[in-house]
A and B are shown apart, each in its own frame.
Chain A
Amino acid sequence: MAEFAVIGKPVPRVDAVDKVTGAARYAADVNLPGQLWAGFVHSPHPHARIKRIDTSKAECIPGVVKILTQDALGAGATQETIDTVHGMRLSQSLFAVEVVRYQGEKIAAVCAISPEICKDAVEAIEVEYERLPAVDEVEQAIRPEAPVIREDAKEVEAPTGCPWANLGMFRNVCQEAHFSAGDVEAGFAEADVIVEGIYRIPRVHQTYIEPHACVARVDPSGKVTVWTSTQSIFAIRSGVASSLGIPQSNINVVGQTIGGGFGGKFGVLVHPYAVLLAQVTGRPVKIVYSREEEMLDGRPAPGAVIWVKTGIKRDGTVTARQAVGLWDCGHVPGASIYATGRIVGVYNFKNIKYDAYGIYTNKPGTSAYRAPGAPQGSYASEANLNQCAAAIGMDPIALRLQNMAQDGDQRVIDRKPLSRVAFKETLLAAAKQAGWFEREKKPNHGWGVAIGEWHHGAGPGSAVVTLMDDGTLKVFSGAMDITGTDTGMGQIAAEVVGVPWENVRVIRGDTDSAPYATGSGGSVVLFSMGNAVKRAAENLREKMLALAAQHLETTVDSLEAVRAADESGRVIPRVQRRGQPEESVTLQELAQIALRTTGGPLVGTGTFASEPSHPLISAQIVEVEVDPETGVMEIKRLVGALDVGRAINPYEVEGQMQGGATQGLSWGWMEEMQFGQGRMLNTHLSDYRIPTIQDLPAIESVYLEVPSEHGPFGVKGIGEPPIVPTPAALHLAIHDATGAWVNDLPATPERIWRALHRNRDEGKG
Chain B
Amino acid sequence: MHAFDYLEPVTVAEACAMLADHGPRARPLAGGTDLLIQMEMGKVRPEAVVHLGRIEALRGIEWDPQAGLRISAGVTLREVETHPIIRERYPALATAAQVVGSVQIRNLGTLVGNLCNASPSADTSPALLALDGQVEIASPTESFTIPVAEFWTGPGQMVLQPGQLVTGVRLPVPTPSLRTWYYKLAVRKAMDLAMVGVCVALEPRNGSARRVRIALGAVAPTCLRARHAEQLAEQGEITNGCLEAIAEAAVAATSPISDQRASADYRRAMVGSLTRRAFTQLLR
Q: How far is the CA of A674 from the CA of B259 in the complex (A)?
A: 10
In contact, B3 and A686 (Cβ under 8 angstroms): no
A280 interface hit (Cβ, 8 Å): no
Q: How far is the CA of A686 from the CA of B193 in the complex (A)?
A: 7
Question: Which A residues are CB-close (under 8 A) to B185?
Answer: 630, 632, 749
Q: How far is the CA of A694 from the CA of B277 in the complex (A)?
A: 24
A687 interface hit (Cβ, 8 Å): yes
Bitwise interface map of B from 84 to 106 toward A, beta carbon under 8 Å scored 1, else 0:
00000000000000000010000
Q: CB within 8 A of A753: which of B3, B189, B269?
A: B269
Question: Which A residues are CB-close (under 8 A) to B189?
Answer: 692, 694-695
Q: How far is the CA of A692 from the CA of B188 in the complex (A)?
A: 7
B144 interface hit (Cβ, 8 Å): no
Bitwise interface map of A from 739 to 765 toward B, beta carbon under 8 Å scored 1, else 0:
000000000111001100100000000
- What number of B residues sit within 8 Å (CB to CB) of A? 25
Q: CB within 8 A of B187: which of A119, A120, A674, A748?
A: A748
A687-B260, A749-B185, A750-B266 known; A116-B1 Cβ under 8 A: yes
Q: Max chain A CB contacts within 10 Å: which of B3, B187, B189?
A: B187
Q: How far is the CA of A687 from the CA of B193 in the complex (A)?
A: 8
Q: How far is the CA of A754 from the CA of B267 in the complex (A)?
A: 12
Bitwise interface map of A from 14 to 45 toward B, beta carbon under 8 Å scored 1, else 0:
00000000000000000000000000000000
Bitwise interface map of A from 662 to 691 toward B, beta carbon under 8 Å scored 1, else 0:
000000011000100000011000110101
A629 interface hit (Cβ, 8 Å): yes
Bitwise interface map of B from 104 to 124 toward A, beta carbon under 8 Å scored 1, else 0:
000000000000000000000
A670-B187, A753-B266 known; A629-B277 Cβ under 8 A: yes
B284 interface hit (Cβ, 8 Å): no
In contact, A630 and B273 (Cβ under 8 angstroms): yes
Q: What is the CB-to-nearest-CB distance from A694 to chain B, in angstroms, rounded to a whole number?
A: 4
Q: How far is the CA of A749 from the CA of B261 in the complex (A)?
A: 11
Q: How far is the CA of A247 from the CA of B273 in the complex (A)?
A: 66
Question: Which B residues are CB-close (under 8 A) to A632?
Answer: 185, 187
Which of A612-644 touch B at CB < 8 Å? 629-630, 632
Question: Which A residues are CB-close (under 8 A) to B190?
Answer: 692, 694-695
In contact, B3 and A689 (Cβ under 8 angstroms): no
A120-B2, A674-B260, A682-B260 known; A749-B191 Cβ under 8 A: no
In contact, A629 and B1 (Cβ under 8 angstroms): no
Which of B169-217 touch A at CB < 8 Å? 185, 187-193, 195
Which of A257-273 touch B at CB < 8 Å? none
Q: How far is the CA of A168 from the CA of B187 in the complex (A)?
A: 40
Q: CB within 8 A of A692: which of B2, B191, B193, B263?
A: B191
Q: How far is the CA of A116 from the CA of B40 in the complex (A)?
A: 11
Bitwise interface map of B from 133 to 168 toward A, beta carbon under 8 Å scored 1, else 0:
000000000000000000000000000000000000
Q: How far is the CA of A629 from the CA of B189 in the complex (A)?
A: 17
In contact, B260 and A670 (Cβ under 8 angstroms): no
Which of A297-329 touch B at CB < 8 Å? none
In contact, A689 and B266 (Cβ under 8 angstroms): no
Q: How far is the CA of A682 from the CA of B261 in the complex (A)?
A: 9
Which of A111-160 touch B at CB < 8 Å? 116, 119-120, 123
In contact, B2 and A629 (Cβ under 8 angstroms): no
CB-nearest residue of chain A relative to B269? A753
Q: What is the CB-to-nearest-CB distance from B262 to chain A, in angstroms, rounded to a whole number?
A: 6
CB-nearest residue of chain B relative to A751? B266
Question: Which B residues are CB-close (under 8 A) to A694?
Answer: 188-190
In contact, A630 and B270 (Cβ under 8 angstroms): yes
Contact sample, A vs B, 29 pairs, CB 8 Å cutoff: A120-B2, A123-B42, A629-B273, A629-B277, A630-B270, A630-B273, A632-B185, A669-B187, A674-B260, A682-B260, A686-B192, A686-B193, A689-B187, A689-B192, A691-B188, A692-B188, A692-B190, A692-B191, A694-B189, A695-B188, A695-B190, A748-B187, A749-B185, A749-B195, A750-B195, A750-B263, A753-B266, A753-B269, A757-B269
A674-B260, A686-B192 given; 14 more Cβ-contact pairs under 8 Å: A116-B2, A123-B42, A632-B185, A632-B187, A670-B188, A681-B259, A686-B191, A687-B193, A687-B261, A689-B188, A692-B189, A749-B195, A750-B266, A754-B266
For the complex of A and B, 6 pairs with smallest distance between CB atoms? A681-B260, A694-B189, A629-B273, A750-B266, A682-B260, A692-B190
What is the interface of chain A, defined by CB distance below 8 A to chain B? Answer: 116, 119-120, 123, 629-630, 632, 669-670, 674, 681-682, 686-687, 689, 691-692, 694-695, 748-750, 753-754, 757
What is the interface of chain B, defined by CB distance below 8 A to chain A? Answer: 1-3, 42, 102, 185, 187-193, 195, 259-263, 266, 269-270, 273-274, 277
